[in-house]
């Protein structure tokens, strides 16, 4: 994984193959110890990506986090292991992840940012984050994040979709998230269509 960025044009495909092969190998013949070791190694790679030491596409980062179920504790362990060699200190894992999420959001890579927010249970992003996603036409990411945050954000998302005259999208969110009682008129009108 550290060498794959050297292949430039073929990096993404090559890296996806490595991740998929490793995941399959671990599913077939693994012990708990092997699984924990792999999580720690993946966490270390993610720390290096977040710090800009190595470059991997955001899709690779998302695949690594989801495939190996890396948690904040794994990131923290990786940070503590490399702190002696670098100017890092233990206890900064959450801040490191949050900085990376901000970088992704600034680059409008919202779906990856939302995946990391969910995976690492970071709740402090508010309504402005949702509005930024909507303004950037990142509706899938906005819905995913609003669902993660709960009913108040889902309601804001529905209102924003109504403002944009995206009634079908609003109806789908109402239906999926049991918000019929909050938007009875829109639900009834959309259902009749």
Report the interhelical angle of 110-119 vs 93-106 (nearest 10°).
160
- What pLDDT is stored for residue 117 in this prediction? 93
> pLDDT value at position 7?
58
Place of tokens 């889902």: 154
Q: What is the mean pLDDT of each successive set of 10 residues along the chain, which is 193 residues long?
A: 60 70 70 79 90 83 87 90 65 89 92 92 88 95 94 95 92 91 83 71
Q: Which helix (H) or strand (E) holds 37?
A: helix 32-50
Q: Which residues of 73-89 are buried (b: 16+ CB within 10 A; e: fewer)?
A: ebbbbbbeeeeeeeebe
| Distance between CA atoms of residues 133 and 156, nearest Å | 13
Distance in angstroms (rounded) separating the CA atoms of residues 188 and 95: 45
Secondary-structure breakdown of the chain: helix, strand, coil percentages, each rounded to the nearest 5 = 75, 0, 25
Q: What is the predicted pLDDT for the residue at 1?
A: 62
Specify the pLDDT at position 30.
Answer: 65
8 Å CB contact between 158 and 174: yes
pLDDT of 14 = 65
The answer to pTM > 0.85 is no
What is the reported pLDDT for 64? 87
> In this predicted structure, what is the pLDDT of residue 83?
66
- Determine how many CB atoms are found less than 10 A away from the CB of residue 173: 22
Q: What sign has the CA pseudo-torsion 95, 98, 100, 106?
A: negative
């Amino acid at each position: 994984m550290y060498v794959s960025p050297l292949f430039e044009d073929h990096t993404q495909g090559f890296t996806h193959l490595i991740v998929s092969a490793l995941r399959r190998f671990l599913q077939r013949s693994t012990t708990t110890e092997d699984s924990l070791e792999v999580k720690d190694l993946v966490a270390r790679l993610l720390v290096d990506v977040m710090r800009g030491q190595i470059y991997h596409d955001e899709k690779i980062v998302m695949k690594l986090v989801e495939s190996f179920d890396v948690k904040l504790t794994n990131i923290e362990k990786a940070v503590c292991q490399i702190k002696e060699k670098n100017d890092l200190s233990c206890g900064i894992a959450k801040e490191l992840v949050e900085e990376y999420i901000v970088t992704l959001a600034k680059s409008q890579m919202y779906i990856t940012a939302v995946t990391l927010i969910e995976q690492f249970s970071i709740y402090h992003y508010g309504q402005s984050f949702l509005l930024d996603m909507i303004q950037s036409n990142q509706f899938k990411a906005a819905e995913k994040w609003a669902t993660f945050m709960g009913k108040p954000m889902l309601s804001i998302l529905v209102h924003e979709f109504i403002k944009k005259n995206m009634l079908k999208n609003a109806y789908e969110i109402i239906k999926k998230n049991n918000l019929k009682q909050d938007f009875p008129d829109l639900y009834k009108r959309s259902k009749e269509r």
